[in-house]
Amino acid sequence: MKICFSKPLVLTAFLFAGLASVTGQGLSDFRAESSEEAGKSSVINTNRFNGYTNHWQNYYYEWHRYGNLFKIALLETELAILQSKIDIAEDMGIPGLLMQEGFISALLREPYRYVENPSLDELESLVRQEGNILVITDPSGPAGHRLEEKAADIFRWAEKMNSYQLNDVDLELVKAFCLTRGNSHLFVISSGSGEKIQQLLSLIDRTSAFMESCKMYKGWHGINTTLYIVTCSPGHPLELIGKGMNEGKSWFIFDGYIARYGKEKLEGWVKEVNLPVVADAGYSPVFGCSDYENLQVQNYMASRQYLIDYAHSKDGYAFREVFDPAADKFRYDGYFVNPGNKEQIDNVNVPFILKSGNLSDNMTSSMVLFIEKDKPLNNESIWDAIMDRRAVAVMEEANMMGPAEYRNVLGLLYLDRIYLEEYFGDNLDITAEVEGYNLIVTLRNYSSVPVKGNLEIITSARVKVNDRLKENISLPVNEERQFIIPLQPLKEAMGNTNPVAVHFTHGNRTKSTVTLLDMPPAISMNQLLYGHSPEVHFPVTVHNFSENKPFPVEISVFRKDNTRKTVVRQSKVCEAAKAAFATCDFNLRLEPGDYIVRANVLGMTAESQLGVGKAEGRTFVYEVDLNSDGIQEYRMENDSVRITLLRTGARVIEYIVKSRNDNVLFRIWPIIMAIT
């Protein structure tokens, strides 16, 4: 080992060496000083603005800086939520409305007497009596002033907000709050504006009437998923449905190729485990069709009218973007909308849908439908509500668009918050996922009271569960509990997507979600394999879903034109743990010809085609720019086939049989997409 010192350090080095020899210290005395805060802390600055640029606006952000290069802007969530309340009050036509959370839910639940502008003595006399009272007051009077004093802490947040709306010197506030004494409630609406008070009372009456006659159903429209899509986004449809159910959603309309190949699957999964939701599919711009048979997507490239006519022939609907001059000459049924379309959607009598998009984009948008209580939730009632404009589009940060009569009702309930959280079961979080053969269910109680209930698991007949019901589960306030429930797939489950529904019933309410046990085939073999005589290597992969370990694997080979006579039979003992894979390799001595290979294992059978030829001919591998985009593809070729693969991911895009000059890939495309 060669050690070099720069001259100025030589003396210092010898001094340290001498010191080390005196003290007896060595390499073992050195320690790494780890930074436990690495990646955990950042510099935070606020960025807020309330005022006018080219439009009036309020925003509240935190700038997070780490290592000087990493920077991200995040909403100050609490301030953004409070600002959304101010914005929604303005959108409802009652600017300056400040409402105590829970005011509407308590008012709609409790009977009350109505009193308008009582004197302080009259008010004192009224509150001595039992029962609930709704009092209308003016804060400039003694009674109103006294009541607002009692509610000062409720609205302290508004005083801290620097919102441009609340800074308006001409703004007349409307305060709605509740004072309690034992079981008695004193509901108060206080304002110096009689007009705004009447607006609020009218909206409360309309909301009460709506809740008596209608049900609200929240859903995701235009969801993208992995199923049948080459350029895929994360999330299996059942996973997305499960996430949505946890948020109180009860209808799901997917978008893309799933419409043509997966509509029946979606409906089958929902029916299989009796989910309390509706799942459907469409293919933009067409939705609501009875089926999507014979849909020729390529025809849309040549004619917009094709998809409009197709939709109507299938009792469906065709939609367009709001701003699309090329669509103006066609008669579409409604609009796709985005946040910039609020003015048109609020005021123009045209049906609309808001797409929720991809899981990777966080799916912050949804739609709320108002459907008559005497009508069941199904595809027909969903589309009746959409086409009749009994819908509200809800975007990020609770921005809403839709007809005022429905939008304002939903806005009032949002200001209340408590009503919507109880209505959609938001106080209880339920998630489910499958790891291996274990179902993992997590419950969390966000409410202010303990929850006690029963957990029930429902699967298809293809999956066995010994512990389907767990009773008397207690969830303290803000506590979380997790349950691990073993699942046992039967042989019928193999090669199938098996839905697993989870229901938690507490009192007269049930919160549900769904996940999936997605099983591979028990036996995996090449569906079509070509080898050379005299010996062909033939692998068989087994997924062990049983308790057996080890287990026998037997294969039998037959000539394709005579499957009754066995040409070769071999058997091996294979070993794999439960829920694990194992591959058995067979070496088959065969003459040239066409064969059927049959594998038997774990009580199941699978077949494969095997071609055996003489070891002759030539093979090629070369690059080719198939579509002249400057990116090379790979091409593999022999005397029989020519296969082209993408450079990235090695996805097969051509499989041409030379004897037929035929690209067989697209003949089996749906099967390939289902596999990939």
User: Within a domain: residue 30?
Assistant: no
Say yes or no: 335 and 483 in one domain: no
Long-range CB contacts (within 8 A, 24+) of 661-669: none
More reliable by pLDDT, 442 or 27: 442
Confidence of residue 232 (pLDDT cuts 50, 70, 90): low
pLDDT at position 588, please? 95
Instruction: Indicate whether 432 and 472 sit together in one domain.
Output: yes
**pLDDT of res. 159:** 87
Examine the domain organization and report whether 413 and 437 are in the same domain: no
pTM of the model: 0.87
Find the helix packing angle between 404-416 and 77-91, rounded to 10°.
140
Alpha helices in 456-526 (DSSP H): none
Residues 231 and 317 in one domain: yes
465 shares its domain with 600: no
565 with 668, same domain? Answer: no
pLDDT averaged over every residue in the chain: 90
In a domain, 203, yes or no: no
| Contact partners, residue 126, CB within 8 Å, separation at least 6 | 113, 115, 118, 133, 135
For residue 317 the two structure tokens come to 């609907």
> Residue 452: what pLDDT?
96
34 located within any domain: no
Q: Are residues 504 and 548 in the same domain?
A: no
540 with 529: CB under 8 angstroms?
Answer: no
Domain boundary among the residues 518, 549, 582 is at 518
Q: What is the pLDDT of residues 359-401, one digit of tens each?
A: 888 999 999 999 999 999 999 999 999 999 999 999 999 999 9
Q: For residues 200 and 195, what is the distance between their CA atoms, to the nearest angstrom?
A: 9
What CATH number corresponds to the domain at position 595?
A: 2.60.40.2950
Of 597, 613, 629, the residue that ends a domain is 613
Residues 400 and 392 sit within 8 Å (Cβ to Cβ): yes
pLDDT tens column, 61-87: 999 999 899 999 999 999 999 999 999
The enclosing domain of 455 has a CATH number of 2.60.40.10
How many domains are contained in the chain? 5
Give the pLDDT confidence score for residue 450 in this predicted structure. 95
Q: Looking at the structure, do residues 63 and 124 belong to the same domain, yes or no?
A: yes
Q: Domain check: are 602 and 661 in the same one?
A: no
Whether 208 maps to a domain, the answer reads no
Residue 516 · residue 236 · CB < 8 Å? yes
> Of residues 26 and 273, which shows the higher confidence score?
273
Q: Integer distance in angstroms from the first to the last C-alpha of the chain?
A: 55
Domain presence at residue 103: yes
Q: Quick check: 274 and 457 in contact, CB under 8 A?
A: no
- Which amino acid belongs to residue 328? D
Percent of the chain with pLDDT over 70: 93
Same domain, 224 and 367: yes
| Band of pLDDT at residue 41, cut at 50, 70 and 90 | confident
> 546 and 632 in one domain?
no
Whether residue 233 has pLDDT greater than 90: no
User: Any idea what the CATH number is for the domain that residue 398 is in?
Assistant: 3.20.20
Q: CA 513 to CA 503: how far, in whole Å?
A: 7
pLDDT grade, residue 671 (50/70/90)?
A: very low
pLDDT 10s digits, 599-653? 999 999 999 999 998 888 888 899 999 888 889 999 999 888 899 998 887 888 8
Cα–Cα distance for residue pair 640/617, rounded to 1 Å? 9
pLDDT digits (tens, 9 = 90+) for 470-488: 999 999 999 999 999 999 9
CB atoms within 10 A of CB 577: 9
Which residue range forms the structural domain that includes residue 654?
620-675
Phi, psi of 594 (to 5 degrees): -105, 130
Residue 357 lies in a domain: yes
- Neighbouring C-beta atoms of residue 353, cutoff 10 Å: 24
Where a domain ends, among 125, 158, 190? 190
Q: Is the pLDDT of residue 133 over 90?
A: yes
**Unique residue bearing structure tokens 């190729």:** 257
Alpha carbon of 36 to those of 41, 292, 294: distances in Å?
A: 10, 57, 61
How far, in Å, CA of 215 to CA of 218, rounded?
A: 10
- Residues 239, 382 within the same domain: yes
Give 514-534 pLDDT, tens digit per residue. Answer: 999 999 999 999 988 988 999
Local structure of residue 326 (DSSP, 8 states): G
